[in-house]
């Protein structure tokens, strides 16, 4: 398949800017449906379900107090629900504990990268900064994994409007949709937040080409170690 030619045939700007439409999903489904499926994908999905369900149970003693504190300090809604592009172009709602003021997503929508980080800080609630520092706000995404919207390992999900922009800038970007987006990703454990989208894409495509159980478990182990260190820094108040 020639990615640039295939994308040129299927891409329509008016469809791309209305990513929740059926036409948007159909076009990306057509691009990805010919991708090779592997027996290991079934094994990875089984690991996703088992590990996510386990982690949801293990984190209950943490999530219940967080829920009560959020309700007392910030009120409803309890969760942030952000549209993200998933496997085959399916648009789903990614869950997080809400760490920003109400309707912050609308105000942050036009921004990406460093500017987004700066403006997000201005929108953060009292407990939100601590939840992000300890990465506890990410726990609800385990439910996205159980539901099948996401995997534990894969390219990090991105908002539809930015996906439409990046797929014009980087013709191979649509290939991220061959697999489910991940709670963590190969690009994230190898490179920092400031890494260019093109370089992150190269690492994501390396994961998609491999996606072995060995690499899956290694990525999870690396992520777990980083999360534990980040949690310790967040609890101690160190940046």
- Residues with Cβ within 8 Å of 92's Cβ and at least 6 positions away in sequence, in order, are 83, 84, 86, 144, 149, 150
**What's the confidence (pLDDT) of residue 80?**
87
Is the pLDDT score of 64 beyond 90? yes
Rg (CA), the chain: 18
**What's the confidence (pLDDT) of residue 20?**
47
Which of 179, 128, 136 minimizes the C-alpha distance to 156?
A: 179
Residue 64, judged by CB atoms within 10 A of its CB (0-12, 13-18, 19+), counts as exposed
In whole angstroms, give the CA distance from residue 215 to residue 211: 6
Residue 235 tokens read as 């609890």
Structure-model confidence comparison of residues 21 and 210, the more confident one: 210
Query: Could you give the angle at the alpha carbon of 232 between the alpha carbons of 229 and 237, nearest 5°?
Result: 125
Is the pLDDT score of 85 beyond 80? yes
**What's the confidence (pLDDT) of residue 75?**
79
Structure-model confidence comparison of residues 235 and 170, the more confident one: 170
Structure-model confidence comparison of residues 27 and 151, the more confident one: 151
At residue 56, what are phi and psi to the nearest 5 degrees?
-65, -40
Contact 111, 104 (CB under 8 A): no
**What's the confidence (pLDDT) of residue 8?**
35
Bond into 77 cis (ω within 30): yes
Contact 230, 192 (CB under 8 A): no
pLDDT confidence of 98, banded at 50, 70, 90? confident
Structure-model confidence comparison of residues 232 and 33, the more confident one: 232
- Once rounded to an integer, what is the mean pLDDT over residues 164-191? 86
Q: pLDDT (tens digit, 9 = 90+) per residue, 213-227?
A: 999 999 999 988 888
pLDDT confidence of 148, banded at 50, 70, 90? very high
């Amino acid at each position: 398949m020639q990615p640039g030619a295939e994308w040129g045939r299927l891409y329509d700007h008016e469809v791309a800017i209305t990513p929740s439409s059926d036409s948007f999903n159909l076009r990306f489904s057509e691009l990805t449906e010919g991708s090779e499926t592997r027996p290991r994908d079934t094994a990875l999905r089984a690991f996703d379900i088992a590990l996510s369900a386990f982690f949801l149970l293990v984190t209950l003693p943490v999530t219940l107090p967080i829920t009560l504190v959020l309700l007392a300090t910030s009120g409803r809604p309890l969760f942030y629900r952000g549209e993200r592009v998933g496997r085959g172009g399916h648009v789903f709602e990614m869950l997080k504990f809400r760490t920003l003021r109400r309707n912050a997503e609308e105000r942050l929508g036009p921004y990406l990268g460093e500017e987004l980080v700066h403006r997000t800080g201005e929108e953060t609630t009292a407990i939100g900064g601590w939840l992000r520092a300890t990465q506890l706000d990410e726990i609800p995404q385990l439910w996205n994994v159980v539901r099948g919207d996401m995997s534990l390992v894969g390219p990090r999900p991105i908002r539809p409007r930015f996906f439409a922009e990046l797929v014009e800038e980087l013709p191979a970007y649509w290939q991220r949709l061959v697999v489910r987006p991940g709670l963590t990703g190969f690009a994230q454990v190898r490179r920092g937040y400031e890494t260019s989208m093109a370089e992150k894409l190269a690492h994501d495509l390396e994961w998609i080409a491999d996606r072995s159980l060995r690499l899956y478990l290694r990525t999870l182990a690396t992520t777990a170690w980083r999360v534990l260190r980040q949690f310790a820094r967040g609890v101690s108040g160190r940046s």
